[in-house]
Amino acid sequence: MKQVILVGVAASLLAACASVPQRSEQLDQARSEIDTLAQEPLAQQAAGRDLAAARQSLQQAEVAQQQHQPPGIVDHLAYLAMRHAQAGEARVSEARARQQVARAQEDRDKILLDSRTREAQNAQAQAQNAQAQAQNAQAQAQDAQVQAEAARVQAEAARNATLAAQAQLASTQQQLADLQAKKTDRGMVVTLGDVLFDTGQSDLKPGADLVIGRLAAFLNANPQTKIMIEGHTDSRGSDEYNEALSERRARAVADALSVRGVAQDSVHTMGRGKAYPVASNDTPEGRQQNRRVEIIFSDPAGQFAQVSN
């Protein structure tokens, strides 16, 4: 009888252990990332959809964990939740930057208004003291000469600054042309074909060094420029497989740029999977065009074009 009781207790303990979901570090990271995004004051305004998508993926991951589905499924759903949250954080950062620019413009306008007010007050005082200023006409003439010289120097400096900016712009445009960049509604885009990777792989081939090196040289010479690296696949395989493969390929290009000195905060990556083909997937040639990595460049201020996907 005692042995039967012990066996029953052991079976109960084993059942209890089996009912406890296995802890997922990826799931913990996703929760933390979503909490960080949710605490942002601009989260709902700038990244409401990303936050909702992140929470939905997190809920799916937690349900999968409770149902004791394979850890890979739980981790993948948690990864999607974390990526949605990170995309939201990027949108919040962008919105915050726009607010800062707007506040800076308001401050500038206020300074200009104050300056003009002071100038008007000075003009009135000068009119009232015209008789006294007439006695100092010679001194004023000398002051005017000094001011004219200062204005000439300032004008020359402004002209030189304009020429330098034009030269920089021309240099940047030539460098982008050397990279075979094309102008699109998303900005300047460089397309890297699937020759950079073996089929189904995300490791860069040795032949990619030349184009990656040229891209790194451009970014290091133009540190204000940011890029978005998007991975794309053909239609073969599941959505999950293609999204993961495209993200790994985009990440591989980003890592190669980092090794060459490009600042990590200037590079963003995204796996687009098979969702955005540029050719038919019904032919080998079309599938080859769809297997690509696209590099989208920001404007000189580090901002990306706002387009709806």
pLDDT at 1 over 70: no
Closest to 263 in 3D by CA, of 222, 230, 231, 304: 222
pLDDT tens-place string over residues 266-305: 999 999 999 999 999 999 999 989 999 999 999 888 888 8
Residue 171: per-residue pLDDT? 54
In whole angstroms, give the CA distance from residue 232 to residue 289: 10
pLDDT at 163 over 90: no
Cα-to-chain-centroid distance, residue 294: 14
In whole angstroms, give the CA distance from residue 206 to residue 225: 26
Angle at 264 between CA 255 and CA 241, to 5 degrees: 45
Band of residue 8 on the pLDDT scale cut at 50, 70, 90:
very low
Domain locations in the chain as residue ranges: 2-98, 171-297
Band of residue 209 on the pLDDT scale cut at 50, 70, 90:
confident
pLDDT at 203 over 80: yes
**One-letter amino acid of 150:** A
Band of residue 2 on the pLDDT scale cut at 50, 70, 90:
very low
pLDDT at 91 over 50: yes
State the average pLDDT over residues 215-225: 94
pLDDT tens-place string over residues 243-271: 999 999 999 999 999 999 999 999 999 99
Strand order in the sheet with 182-184: 182-184, 187-193, 292-297, 227-232, 267-271
Predicted TM-score of the model (pTM): 0.46
Angle at 267 between CA 271 and CA 170, to 5 degrees: 120
DSSP category for residue 110: H
In whole angstroms, give the CA distance from residue 79 to residue 31: 10
Residue 133: per-residue pLDDT? 83
Higher pLDDT, 79 or 146: 79
Residue 167: per-residue pLDDT? 52
State the average pLDDT over residues 62-87: 92
DSSP category for residue 283: S
Band of residue 178 on the pLDDT scale cut at 50, 70, 90:
low
Which range, of 56-60, 132-136, 252-256, 279-283, averages the lowest pLDDT?
132-136
The rounded mean pLDDT for the chain is 84
Q: Which CATH superfamily is domain 171-297 in?
A: OmpA-like domain (3.30.1330.60)
Which helix (H) or strand (E) is 135 found in, with range?
helix 130-135
